[in-house]
């Protein structure tokens, strides 16, 4: 090994160490923030994890718990605003990374609620970190009312995970949508457990709802209504670009690395995840699923 290559190796190790140190420091103290999106309606979290909660005269409704540490921090944030009881913890869908740590709210007396499809999946795929729902709802819509406030629980069918619930707050003109809209980011890696076509259909149906603000689970606490259309447009542009490559005769295996969408260059994950996104949609085009 030459001095030059040893030097490069040490420099790389030093960078790696710094990243590791910063990474663990960031993990130890996430800069969690509570954001009031509308009177009584809050987003809580930081960076890659935001849940939602609503304070009513009859108690608090929490949507998603992420993990035990997040749930504890979320409960602390709620307790800074109210000492009303936590009445409900509502799951958005079945994925462990969004609904672990529910025991924190269950211990406060919360009723854990999910769509029936979420509960069915959890029954056959239990996790020690996930509290089973106490109650379920089924069909396309259910109204959760508490202390003079209301949340519409909406199910659009298959799109991502099982029993994916979009929360609509009619009086607050807002929705909380988990994983289906992530602002200014391409889709996550290989779009795990997404059906891209059904995702597009769902976003088009969501656009018909009445709301002004969109609360997210990733990247930002909330943003404008237009972020739903932006997410849909990205998926449509990706599909169109893949179909154009196939039409041009680009070899199937080369399509994902050939597709470019320069209009999304500034979005998070563009360089690394665009080819992965393209693989997922290409396989759906080829296989039907
Ligand atoms: Zn998910």
pLDDT in tens, 124-183: 999 999 999 999 999 999 999 999 999 999 999 999 999 999 999 999 999 999 999 999
What residues are neighbours of ligand 1 (ion), with CB under 5 Å?
95, 161, 179
Q: Compute, in angstroms, the gap from residue 161 CA to the centroid of ligand 1.
A: 6
Q: Compute, in angstroms, the gap from residue 103 CA to the centroid of ligand 1.
A: 20
Confidence band for 26, pLDDT divided at 50, 70 and 90: very low
Q: Compute, in angstroms, the gap from residue 216 CA to the centroid of ligand 1.
A: 12
Is residue 12 predicted with pLDDT exceeding 80?
no
What is the rounded distance in angstroms from the CA atom of residue 281 to the CA atom of residue 239?
A: 7
Q: Is residue 213 a contact partner of residue 223, using CB atoms and an 8 Å limit? A: yes
Q: Compute, in angstroms, the gap from residue 14 CA to the centroid of ligand 1.
A: 35
> Quick one: which of 150, 156, 96 has its CA closest to 128?
96
Burial label, 161 (beta-carbon count in 10 A; 0-12, 13-18, 19+): buried
Is residue 23 predicted with pLDDT exceeding 90?
no
Confidence band for 27, pLDDT divided at 50, 70 and 90: low
Cα-based distances in Å from 227 to 186, 195, 234, 235:
12, 20, 11, 13
Mean pLDDT of all residues in 98-122: 98
Is residue 3 predicted with pLDDT exceeding 60?
no
Q: Compute, in angstroms, the gap from residue 70 CA to the centroid of ligand 1.
A: 17
| CATH architecture observed for domain 30-225 | 4-Layer Sandwich (3.60)
Q: Compute, in angstroms, the gap from residue 202 CA to the centroid of ligand 1.
A: 15
Q: Compute, in angstroms, the gap from residue 67 CA to the centroid of ligand 1.
A: 14
Confidence band for 233, pLDDT divided at 50, 70 and 90: very high
Q: Compute, in angstroms, the gap from residue 162 CA to the centroid of ligand 1.
A: 9
What residues contact residue 71 under an 8 Å CB cut-off, 6+ apart? 65, 101, 102, 103, 104, 105
Q: Compute, in angstroms, the gap from residue 247 CA to the centroid of ligand 1.
A: 33
Q: Compute, in angstroms, the gap from residue 160 CA to the centroid of ligand 1.
A: 6
Q: Compute, in angstroms, the gap from residue 229 CA to the centroid of ligand 1.
A: 20
For residue 89, the surrounding DSSP H or E stretch is strand 86-90
Q: Compute, in angstroms, the gap from residue 217 CA to the centroid of ligand 1.
A: 10
Burial label, 249 (beta-carbon count in 10 A; 0-12, 13-18, 19+): exposed
| CB burial string 132-152: b at 16+ within 10 A, e below | ebeebbeeeebebebbebbbb
Q: Is residue 159 a contact partner of residue 180, using CB atoms and an 8 Å limit? A: yes
| Domain residue ranges in the chain | 30-225, 236-287
Helix (H/G/I), strand (E/B), else coil: 43: strand
What is the rounded distance in angstroms from the CA atom of residue 94 to the CA atom of residue 130?
A: 9
Mean pLDDT of all residues in 218-232: 98
Q: What is the pLDDT of residue 30?
A: 81
Q: Residue 44 forms beta bridges with which residues? A: 34, 51
Q: Compute, in angstroms, the gap from residue 5 CA to the centroid of ligand 1.
A: 42
Confidence band for 188, pLDDT divided at 50, 70 and 90: very high
Is residue 97 predicted with pLDDT exceeding 50?
yes
26 vs 120, more confident = 120
Percentage of the residues of the chain whose pLDDT score is greater than 70: 90
Beta strand 174-177 pairing with 41-46: unpaired
Q: What is the pLDDT of residue 255?
A: 98
Average pLDDT, rounded, for the chain: 92
Q: What is the pLDDT of residue 28?
A: 60
Mean pLDDT of all residues in 111-132: 98
Q: Compute, in angstroms, the gap from residue 98 CA to the centroid of ligand 1.
A: 7
Beginning with the edge strand found earlier in the chain, give each strand of the sheet holding 222-224 in spatial order: 141-146, 149-155, 165-169, 174-177, 213-216, 222-224
Q: Compute, in angstroms, the gap from residue 95 CA to the centroid of ligand 1.
A: 5
21 vs 283, more confident = 283
> Quick one: which of 78, 76, 28 has its CA closest to 52?
78
Q: What is the pLDDT of residue 8?
A: 39
Q: Compute, in angstroms, the gap from residue 260 CA to the centroid of ligand 1.
A: 26
Is residue 9 predicted with pLDDT exceeding 50?
no
For residue 60, the surrounding DSSP H or E stretch is strand 59-63
Q: Compute, in angstroms, the gap from residue 131 CA to the centroid of ligand 1.
A: 17
Confidence band for 75, pLDDT divided at 50, 70 and 90: very high
């Amino acid at each position: 090994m030459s001095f030059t290559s040893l030097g490069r190796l040490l420099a790389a190790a030093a960078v790696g160490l710094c990243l590791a140190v910063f990474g663990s420091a960031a993990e130890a103290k996430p800069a969690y923030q509570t954001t009031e999106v509308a009177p009584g309606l809050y987003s809580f979290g930081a960076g890659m994890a935001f849940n939602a909660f609503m304070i009513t005269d009859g108690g608090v409704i929490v949507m998603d718990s992420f993990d035990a540490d997040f749930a504890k921090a979320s409960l602390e944030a709620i307790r800074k605003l109210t000492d009303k009881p936590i009445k409900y913890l509502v799951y958005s869908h079945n994925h462990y990374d969004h609904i672990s740590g529910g025991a924190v709210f269950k211990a406060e007396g919360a009723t854990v609620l999910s769509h029936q499809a979420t509960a069915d999946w959890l029954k056959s795929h239990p996790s020690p970190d996930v509290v089973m729902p106490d109650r379920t709802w089924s069909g396309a819509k259910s109204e959760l009312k508490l202390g003079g406030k209301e949340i519409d629980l909406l199910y659009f069918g298959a799109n991502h995970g099982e029993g994916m619930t979009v929360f609509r707050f009619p009086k607050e003109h807002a929705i909380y949508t988990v994983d289906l809209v992530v602002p200014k980011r391409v889709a996550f890696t290989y779009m795990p457990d997404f059906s891209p076509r059904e995702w597009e259909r769902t976003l088009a149906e969501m656009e018909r709802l009445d709301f002004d603000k969109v609360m997210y689970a990733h990247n930002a606490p909330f943003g404008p209504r237009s972020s739903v259309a932006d997410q849909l447009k990205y998926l449509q542009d990706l599909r169109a670009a893949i179909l154009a490559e196939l039409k041009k005769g680009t070899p199937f295996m080369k399509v994902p690395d050939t597709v470019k969408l320069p209009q999304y260059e500034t979005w998070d994950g563009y360089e690394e995840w665009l080819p992965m996104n393209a693989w997922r949609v290409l396989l759906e085009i080829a296989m039907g699923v």
